[in-house]
Structure 1
Amino acid sequence: MTQPAAKSKRQTRRRRARGSLVLIASLFIVSATIRFGEGVGLAFAAAGKDAPEAKTCVPDEDGMALLRAVQERERKVTEREGALADRRQSLDIVEKRVQDRLAALVAAEKELANTVTFADKAAEQDVQRLVTVYEAMKPKEAAPLFEAMSPDFAAGFLGRMRPESAAAIMASLNPDFAYSISAIVAGRNARAPTN
């Protein structure tokens, strides 16, 4: 055999083998389609016969009671939140008023402290002027004025005077009155700590 004739025989065999394969594959596909079609039809037929009737959803009493309880609880929580918000707002208003009043009180306290300081300075200046006046007076003229004062008050003036002026006035005083003034002046620092 020649080469071209051998080639031709091989090609013929291959064509036949391909044709056989195509035929077998086609038969498989047709069989599967028939079976699938029958199964679907049977399934639809069975579904139509055995399918349960559609039921309407009816809630049970326990579920409804639970739902009502949850809704009531939610309503109460909402009311409580509203009440707390109102109370917080009221507290904020009160806190603002308290802060305003406290600021006013602090301002008034500062003003009062300034007034007291001014009054103390003025009183100190007045007392210092009187001390200067009493020191300038003759001891015999000043003595009756001091005897008219209470011993505490007189001791205050004499304690501020120069020692020479105070001594001259004390010498002109009644001895009992001079003694009481001396006791007051000496006792002022008796209770002061020594250490």
Structure 2
Amino acid sequence: MSRRRKRSRRAGRGASSTIALLLLLSGLVRLAEGVGPAVARGIVNADWARAEAEAAIPQVCDSDSDIRRTLQILKDRSAELDAREAELAQRTQTLRVAEEEIHLNLAALQKAEASLQATLALADGAAESDIDRLASVYQNMKPKEAAAVFEQMDATFAAGFLARMKPVAAAAILSGLSSEKAYAASVVLAGRNANVPTQ
């Protein structure tokens, strides 16, 4: 009874950690997807702009107007490259800030998970202690009185208590149960380790 509960709790904790990690990775992928295409577009646009600028620059500057025109094209191109560089720097900074936030959130999540596991371990220990104490109470009752209580219990629940008792006390209680209830509890007790590997 308690082993199954522990296994299901451990599985639940592992599942919640896995889900949190998947959500974190999903966020990083989405963030990267937003930046990647933008950077690619910037590179393609820069190539087109460079080709247009090179086509507009005269091959031979014969006059002052050609020189002025060439200088203006180069200034415009330089300003455009500066703007693109600033935009990429801003995007890089945004990505860096987002990455720092993700690391902080992950650290907080790990701390909360550790705290939750400690709390669950305390709760499990307290529950086990309570069940052991109650099993001891039933064991020390008169078998006839304990049997009357066990007769009202679910067979699985009753088997959990019987398994914690000394065999002599458990046998005395079982003998006081109806045949149906004693059989049901015995089947549960016998089946508790049925799935344990033998090799």
Q: Same fold (TM over 0.5)?
A: yes
Deviation at 1:150, TM superposition (A): 1.1
User: Aligned pair 1:163/2:163, yes or no?
Assistant: no
2:122 paired residue among 98, 118, 121: 118
Instruction: Name the counterpart of 1:8.
Output: none
User: Aligned pair 1:58/2:66, yes or no?
Assistant: no
Deviation at 1:89, TM superposition (A): 1.6
Name the SS of the counterpart of 1:106 in structure 2: helix
Q: Following superposition of structure 1 onto structure 2, how do residues 1-195 of structure 1 map, counting pairs within 5 Å?
A: 58-59=63-64, 61=66, 66-195=70-199
Q: Give the AA of the match of 1:58.
A: S
Deviation at 1:157, TM superposition (A): 0.6
- For 2:143 and 2:155, the matched residues in 1 are separated by 17
Q: Which has the higher contact order (CA 8 A, sep 6+)?
A: 2
Cα deviation 1:41-85 (Å, max 9, x = unaligned): xxxxxxxxxxxxxxxx72364x65554443333222211111111
Q: Give the AA of the match of 2:63.
A: V
Name the SS of the counterpart of 2:64 in structure 1: coil
Name the SS of the counterpart of 2:112 in structure 1: helix
- For 2:113 and 2:159, the matched residues in 1 are separated by 33
Instruction: Name the counterpart of 2:15.
Output: none
Identical counterparts, % of pairs? 45
- For 2:71 and 2:151, the matched residues in 1 are separated by 97
Deviation at 1:115, TM superposition (A): 0.5
Q: Give the AA of the match of 1:186.
A: A
Structure 2 stretches of 5 or more lacking a match? 1-61
Q: Which one has the largest radius of gyration?
A: 1
Q: Give the AA of the match of 1:114.
A: A
Q: How many residues align?
A: 138
Two-structure CA RMSD over aligned residues (Å): 1.8
- For 1:160 and 1:126, the matched residues in 2 are separated by 12
Structure 1 stretches of 5 or more lacking a match? 1-56
> How high is the TM-score relative to the length of structure 1?
0.65
